[in-house]
């Protein structure tokens, strides 16, 4: 995939030549993000911020998101090409540079309800405001399952539609006919009456002189020819022959290599380190002391690694050396005992409604810290020379990386360039706020300047210095009425998030979060708080169903009268899994439904106990994300989410001993493999609802569906993960 | 020490420490970056290459011990213009997501098919034990079966 650097831009410009740019330079002065600004710098025709049209009729979609395997590059290009009436075979993709111009305001619009849907006259103003906000916050994020429903739905379609209007107008002017008599199709504009026709590439220079419409008409869903059809991802061919370039593959002239060991106990400062044992080894260039880590620079990664392993750095006492997972869980428990907590949601009489209940059900659940363990270990290559800092890495937010690198280098953001590469997995580990590897690489590069340095973390460093999914304890109480339905639901946990809210109709609710910070670094892990709350809520509802003596599906059905999309997803997943007929002997089924990132996913898991371990044979997933842009990629995201969730449900955890992470690599952080992968069926419900995300929503229902299946099979309720029987 | 390797049919030399793993010589000395670093302990398979046609996790074998052996990396599995049937199947089944583990996955699968052209599910489970965090496993299985089936039917996959 091409990167949109000035150099390649000029190179392509010279090939396509004679064009125009409808660009972004004027953006700060106009609320219309599509404003046309001729780009005299290189002459490449660019219609709106997101699309360039070459004289050879290629359409290059400039996508302001990274590609970490979710297929967003292809999906967003499809959305733009659809409205543009482009010939898909001539569409190319370029990742946008990490600059202010590509800050993603649309992220705000998918997460802030008040601006999600606004009157038409306000739309462009809201777009401008949210865009400016994201610029100020250095946000060019790929996360929150937001690319398709945000940038794609709100931005790419608009950009494609505006460019089409301009191309049609340009043709109409040239032919001196009404624009209404001209139609765009397959990268051509045609005048039906006269049969005259011109390619987009031929029209682009004239089109670029026109003012883009603020409210271009968008196509009806019924007229789509690209969106909604399974379309091969454009990044896949390079991923089967070794030619795809990830951050770790970047090579520069005169480059040196570094690896690092940070303080094993989180937060400890480096006191001293004797560099001699490393320096005595061949190929070692430098031992670099950082605030909380020591790095070794060498002429190869292997030598740098041997150098780091030869060192015995001393770190200051943080007072956390005795911390263990047990003490952390105890501290969370104490906070739950002690604190009233902050209100997440309450209704009716709240917890007072537990008094005098016909039946009271209580349960405590807990989930451990979890690593992201992206297959590509953390890495960044940095060069500081001639008053500039350049960084080659793969991150979920190049603008935030630019800020991180600016701070670490002491340069201004304008003096920093991020060359974002493909990501060997993200899952939240490469988001803003957790780019310690970028900061480290730049700090090391200050010592190696002007030579560039490639910092590669060992897998041990990755497992022990992640920003983990938080360990959470949840306490649940419910009062059942005589008919078995829950009259009151009371919950307490140590992760505040709206993910704790219920789709179920329960009159009295009291949902609160307490604070129980630990010294362990935490961050967003694919599907964020929904992974913990999905497990808690859907396990507890299942417990209530069994306490009421009812079928778990039938019980949920009764409580979802006002949540038709949840109900439809449940019914579909149940039908896919033949819920009504008993499973084969020795197998059990469990069901769960979770809404996250605007999508509702119901999953049925079928399990067996094999050699004392849970084996998940089959998962049926029904997904309502409103509509589907690229069906096969969408399916792949749900499949992947289920396997990712399986790692948390059955396979691994990070525990703390002596204040540090006890595990270090895949031998003690086991992952599901081919032999463990269930058969997965995915079906989409095209409800027509507002588009939801897909990168994350497949994850949350899996763990509770499996735990509920284990209960159905064994009668044993497992309330902690990873699930052991 | 100076070592000489036979990589993708070419004789290549490198000056490295005796204990330097093959992985790092391929990536840093020979510029073959399609073979990936995942764990360094032969647990994930991202670094899988072929040594005399057998799948080997290159992060855990010294390059110096590979002299005189035929090493094949993802770049040498097939000519770019005539992909290996598995590579074509990988595209047809849209297997990769982030793609980082896929070089190793394809190399493991190719070695499996070379010694067992019609593997059962259990044999695939046993022969391809690589880790993929994106969860592409079922598509990997389908792609391998499709190649095996095409071979059995005597046609292209």
Tell me the DSSP string of A210-256: SPPPSSPPPPPGGG-SSTTS----TTSGGGTTT---BGGG---TT-E
Asked if the Cβ–Cβ distance from B138 to A639 is below 8 Å, we say: yes
DSSP A170: H
pTM here? 0.93
Q: Which residues of A touch B8 (CB under 8 A)?
A: none
Integer CA distances (angstroms), A614 to A7, A642, A707, B128, in order: 54, 15, 10, 21
CA dihedral A144, A149, A151, A153 (to 10 degrees): 180
Contact A206, A174 (CB under 8 A): yes
Q: Which of residues 42-61 of B touch A (CB under 8 A)?
A: 43-44, 46
Is residue A375 less than 8 Å (CB to CB) from chain B?
A: yes
Packed helices A157-175 and A72-84: angle between N→C axes, nearest 10 degrees: 30
In chain B, positions 138-157, which contact chain A (CB-CB < 8 Å)? 138-141
Cβ neighbours of residue A110 closer than 8 Å, sequence gap 6 or more: A116, A144, A146, A149, A150, A598, A693
Which of A242, A261, A633, A667 is the best residue to mutate to test the B interface, defined by the most B CB atoms within 10 Å of its own CB? A242
Nearest residue in chain A measured CA to CA from B130: A673
Number of A to B CB contacts under 8 A, please give it: 183
How close B53 gets to chain A, by Cα (Å)? 17
Closest CA to A709 of A642, A641, A621, A609: A609
Contacts of A195 (CB under 8 A, 6+ apart): none
Shortest CA gap A519–chain B (Å): 26
Contacts of A340 (CB under 8 A, 6+ apart): A512, A514
> Where do the H-state alpha helices sit in A435-522?
436-448, 459-464
**pLDDT at position A129:** 65
Kindly list the distances between the CA atom of residue A671 and the CA atoms of A388, A469, A646, A658, B98, in Å, as whole numbers in the listed order.
Answer: 41, 16, 9, 24, 17
User: What pLDDT, on the 0 to 100 scale, is given for residue A12?
Assistant: 27
Spatial separation of the C-alpha atoms in residues B130 and B109, rounded to whole Å: 10
Compute the residue count for chain A.
725
- The CA distance from A74 to B2, in Å, is 45
Q: Which of A69, A75, A240, A425 to mutate to test the interface with B (most CBs of B within 10 A)?
A: A240
Rg (C-alpha) for chain B, rounded Å, is 15
CB contact under 8 A, A242 and B73: yes
- Least CB-CB distance to B131: which of A236, A248, A375? A375
Q: Which residues pair with A455 in a beta bridge?
A: A258, A380
What pLDDT does A212 receive?
Answer: 81
A636/B97 CB distance under 8 A: yes
pLDDT of residue A43: 60
Q: How far is CA A710 from CA A607, A652, A724, B76, in A?
A: 7, 18, 10, 46
- Give the integer Cα–Cα distance in Å for A380 and A393: 5
Q: Is A489 helix (H, G, I), strand (E, B) or coil?
A: strand
CB A560 within 8 A of CB A570: yes
**pLDDT block averages, 10 residues each, chain A of length 725:** 32 27 30 43 65 91 89 95 97 86 70 64 67 68 80 88 95 97 98 96 90 88 96 96 98 98 97 98 98 98 98 97 97 97 97 92 98 98 97 94 97 96 96 96 98 98 98 98 96 95 98 96 96 98 98 98 97 98 97 97 98 98 97 97 98 97 98 98 96 96 98 98 96
CB A379 within 8 A of CB A455: yes
Q: What's the pLDDT score for residue A147?
A: 82
Contact B131 A423 (CB under 8 A): no
What is the per-residue pLDDT for A133?
64
Best residue in B26, B31, B133, B157 for a mutation probing chain A (most A CBs within 10 Å): B133
* DSSP, residue by residue, A338-404: H---EEEEEETTGGGGGTT-SEEEEEEEEE-BB----SS--EEEEEEETTEEEEEE--S-HHHHHHH
CA distance A172 to A276: 76
| Range B100-121 average pLDDT | 98
- What is the predicted pLDDT for the residue at A115? 61
Distance CA A695, CA A526 (A): 8
Q: Is A422 on the interface with B (CB under 8 A)?
A: yes
What pLDDT, on the 0 to 100 scale, is given for residue A112?
A: 64
Asked if B3 is an interface residue toward chain A (Cβ–Cβ < 8 A), one would say no
Which among B90, B128, B133 is the nearest to A373, CB-wise?
B133
Token pair listed for A21:
């740019």
**From the list B20, B46, B102, which residue is nearest A302 (CB)?**
B20
- Beta-carbon contacts of A279 under 8 Å, excluding residues fewer than 6 positions away, are A287, A307
Instruction: Measure CB to CB from residue B39 to each of A241, A644, A665 and give the nearest one.
Output: A665
Reduce the secondary structure of A416-448 to three states and give it as a string. EEEEECECCCCCCCCCCCCCHHHHHHHHHHHHH
Global ipTM: 0.97
Distance CA(A91)–CA(A630), nearest Å, equals 15
- A237 → closest Cβ in B21, B35, B91: B91
- Sign for the CA dihedral angle at A426, A432, A437, A441 comes to positive
Residues on chain B touching A427 (C-beta within 8 angstroms): 133
Sign (positive or negative) of CA dihedral A498, A502, A507, A511: negative
Closest chain B CA to residue A677: B137
| Residues of A in Cβ contact (< 8 Å) with B20 | 300, 302
State how far the Cα of A242 lies from the Cα of B104, in Å rounded to an integer. 9
């Amino acid at each position: 995939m091409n990167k949109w650097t000035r150099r390649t831009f000029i190179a392509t410009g010279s090939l396509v030549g004679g064009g125009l740019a409808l660009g972004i330079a004027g953006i700060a002065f106009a609320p219309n993000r599509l404003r046309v600004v001729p780009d005299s710098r290189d002459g490449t025709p660019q219609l709106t911020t997101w699309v360039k049209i070459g004289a050879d009729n290629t359409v290059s979609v400039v996508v302001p998101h990274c590609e970490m395997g979710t297929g967003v590059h292809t999906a967003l290009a499809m959305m733009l090409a659809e409205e543009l009436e482009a010939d898909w075979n001539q569409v190319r993709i370029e990742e946008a540079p990490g600059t202010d111009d590509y800050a993603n305001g649309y992220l705000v619009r998918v997460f802030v309800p008040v601006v999600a849907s606004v009157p038409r006259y306000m739309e462009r103003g809201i777009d401008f405001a949210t865009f400016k906000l994201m610029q100020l916050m250095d946000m060019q994020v790929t996360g929150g399952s937001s690319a398709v429903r945000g940038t794609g739905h709100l931005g790419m379609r608009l950009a494609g539609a505006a460019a089409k209007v301009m191309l049609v107008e340009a043709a109409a002017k040239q032919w001196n006919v009404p624009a209404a008599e001209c139609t765009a199709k397959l990268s051509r504009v045609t005048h039906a009456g006269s049969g005259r026709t011109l390619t987009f590439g031929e029209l682009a220079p004239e089109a670029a002189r026109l003012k883009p419409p603020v409210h271009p008409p968008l196509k009806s869903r019924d007229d789509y020819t690209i969106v909604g059809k399974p379309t091969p991802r454009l990044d896949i061919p390079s991923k089967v022959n070794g030619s795809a370039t990830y951050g770790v593959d970047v090579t520069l002239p005169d480059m040196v290599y570094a690896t690092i060991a940070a303080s094993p106990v989180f937060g400890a400062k480096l006191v001293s380190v004797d560099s001699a044992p490393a320096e005595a080894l061949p190929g070692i260039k430098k031992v670099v002391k950082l605030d909380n880590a020591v790095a070794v620079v060498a002429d190869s990664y292997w030598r740098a690694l041997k150098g780091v392993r030869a060192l015995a750095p001393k770190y200051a006492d943080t007072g956390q050396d005795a911390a263990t997972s047990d003490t952390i869980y105890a501290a969370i428990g104490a906070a739950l005992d002690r604190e009233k907590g902050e209100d997440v949601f309450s209704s009716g009489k709240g917890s007072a409604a537990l008094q005098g209940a016909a039946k009271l059900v209580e349960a405590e659940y807990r989930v451990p810290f979890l690593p992201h363990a992206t297959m590509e270990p953390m890495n960044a290559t940095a060069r500081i020379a001639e008053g500039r800092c350049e960084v080659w890495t793969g991150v979920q937010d190049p603008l935030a990386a630019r800020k991180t690198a600016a701070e670490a280098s002491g340069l201004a953001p304008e003096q920093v360039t991020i060359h974002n590469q493909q990501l060997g997995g993200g899952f939240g580990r490469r988001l803003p706020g957790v780019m310690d590897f970028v900061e480290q690489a730049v700090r090391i590069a200050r010592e190696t300047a002007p030579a560039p340095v490639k910092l590669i973390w060992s897998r041990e460093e990755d497992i022990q210095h992640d920003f983990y999914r938080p360990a959470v304890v949840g306490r649940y109480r419910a009062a059942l009425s005589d008919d078995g339905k829950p009259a009151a639901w009371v919950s307490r946990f140590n992760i505040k998030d709206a993910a704790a809210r219920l789709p179920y109709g329960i009159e009295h609710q009291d949902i609160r979060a307490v604070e129980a910070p630990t010294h362990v670094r935490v961050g967003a892990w694919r599907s964020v708080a929904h992974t913990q709350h999905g497990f808690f809520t859907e396990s507890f509802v299942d417990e209530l169903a069994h306490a009421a003596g009812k079928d778990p599906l039938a019980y949920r059905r009764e409580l979802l009268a006002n949540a038709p999309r949840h109900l439809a997803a449940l019914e579909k997943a149940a039908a896919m899994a033949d819920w009504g007929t008993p499973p084969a002997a020795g197998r059990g089924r469990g069901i769960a439904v979770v809404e996250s990132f605007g999508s509702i996913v119901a999953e049925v898991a079928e399990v067996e106990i094999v050699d004392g371990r849970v084996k998940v044979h089959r998962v049926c997933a029904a997904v309502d994300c409103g509509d589907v842009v690229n069906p096969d990629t969408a399916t792949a995201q749900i499949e992947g989410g289920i396997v990712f969730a399986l790692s948390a449900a059955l396979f691994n955890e990070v525990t703390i001993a002596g204040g540090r992470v006890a595990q270090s690599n895949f031998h003690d952080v086991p992952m599901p493999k081919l032999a463990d992968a269930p058969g997965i069926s995915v079906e989409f419900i095209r409800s027509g609802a507002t588009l939801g995300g897909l990168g994350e929503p497949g994850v949350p229902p899996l763990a509770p569906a499996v735990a509920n299946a284990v209960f159905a099979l064994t009668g044993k309720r497992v309330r902690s993960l990873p699930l052991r029987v | 020490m100076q070592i000489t390797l036979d990589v993708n049919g070419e004789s290549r030399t490198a000056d490295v420490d005796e204990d330097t793993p093959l992985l790092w010589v391929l990536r840093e000395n020979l510029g073959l970056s399609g073979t990936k670093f995942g764990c360094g302990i032969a647990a994930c398979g991202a670094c899988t290459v072929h040594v005399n046609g057998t799948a080997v996790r290159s992060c855990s074998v010294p390059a110096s011990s590979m002299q005189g052996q035929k090493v094949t990396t993802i770049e040498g599995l097939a000519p770019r213009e005539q992909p290996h049937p598995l590579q074509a199947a990988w595209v047809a089944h849209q297997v990769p997501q982030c793609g980082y583990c896929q070089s190793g996955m394809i190399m493991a699968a190719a070695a499996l098919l070379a010694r067992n052209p019609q593997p059962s599910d259990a044999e695939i489970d046993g022969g391809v034990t690589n880790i993929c965090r994106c969860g592409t496993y079922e598509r990997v299985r389908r792609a391998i079966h499709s190649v095996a089936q095409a071979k059995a039917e005597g046609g292209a996959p």
